[in-house]
Amino acid sequence: MAVSNFSTKDLVSGAMFVAAGAYFALEALNYEVGTAFRMGPGFMPLLLGCVLAALGLGVAANGWKKPDTERPLSPPWRAMVLIIGVIIFFGATIRGLGFVPVVLVSSFAAAMASRLNSPVFALLLAVTLTVLCTAIFVVGLGMTVPWFGPWLGM
């Protein structure tokens, strides 16, 4: 590979910094930049975005001639999909479905993110967590959220 002379870690994190810096700097151009005396809302983001992009280049260049020695572990795709999915599901349905069903489904799905958990264990964990969370947050701390939401016709 052409980049085999580079540390992948440095190259990728450098690229991420450049991308993030470029985004913030370009977006900041849509706002009033102002002058050094009266800085507008765009001044700091433009400046910092450019600094971040420059740092990104520096990080990437720093990885030159430091090729990777260790083989990275493969990312936990299943866990990522399930856990991020759970968070989005939670946000999207908490108002509609209500606390109890959302927590039950979420904790079951989150538990399945680990390959070591069997479905039965996940279900047991989900029930335990639902009871626990309902007791702590809804009953104990008086969180204002329905037990069962309007989507369930209750």
Partner 1 sequence: MDIIASLGLGFSVALDPINILYCFIGVLLGTLVGCLPGIGPTATIAMLLPITFSLSPAGALIMLAGIYYGAQYGGSTTAILINLPGESSSAVTAIDGYQMAKQGRAGQALATAALGSFFAGTVATLLLAFFAPPLARAALNFGAPEYFALIVLGLLVSIALAHGSILKALGMIVLGLLLGMVGQDIYTGQPRFTFGIRELYSGLNFVSVAVGVFGVAEILRNLEDEKSRDVMVKSVKGLWLSMTDFKRIIAPVLRGTVLGSLLGVLPGGGHILSSFASYSAEKRLSKTPEEFGRGAIEGVAGPESANNAAAQTSFIPLLTLGIPAHPVMALMVGAFILQGITPGPNVINDQPALFWGIIASMWIGNVLLVLLNLPLIGLWVKMLSIPYRALFPAIVLFACIGCFSINQNIYDVYAIGFFGVVGYVLIRFGCEPAPLLLGFVLGPLLEEHLRRAMIISRGDPMVFLERPISATLLGLALLAVIIAVLPGIRQKRKEVFVEED
Positions in 107-146 near partner 1 (CB under 8 A): 107, 110-111, 113-117, 121-122, 125-126, 129, 132-133, 137, 141-145
Asked if 16 touches partner 1 (CB under 8 A), the answer is yes
Asked if 21 touches partner 1 (CB under 8 A), the answer is yes
CB of 77 to partner 1, least distance (A): 10
Considering only 1, 69, 71, 74, the residue that binds partner 1 (CB under 8 A) is: 74
Tell me whether residue 2 or residue 37 sits nearer to partner 1 (CB atom): 37
CB of 75 to partner 1, least distance (A): 7
Handedness of CA 47, 48, 50, 51 (dihedral sign): positive
CB of 91 to partner 1, least distance (A): 4
**Cβ(24)–Cβ(18) below 8 Å:** no
Find all residues with CB under 8 Å of 65, minimum gap 6, and list them.
Answer: 5
CB of 27 to partner 1, least distance (A): 6
**Cβ(98)–Cβ(152) below 8 Å:** yes
**Cβ(47)–Cβ(28) below 8 Å:** no
Asked if 105 touches partner 1 (CB under 8 A), the answer is no
Phi, psi of 6 (to 5 degrees): -105, 150
CB of 55 to partner 1, least distance (A): 4
Phi, psi of 72 (to 5 degrees): -70, 150
Task: Show the tokens assigned to 51.
Answer: 């600094």
β-pair partners for 34:
39
Asked if 45 touches partner 1 (CB under 8 A), the answer is yes
Asked if 6 touches partner 1 (CB under 8 A), the answer is no
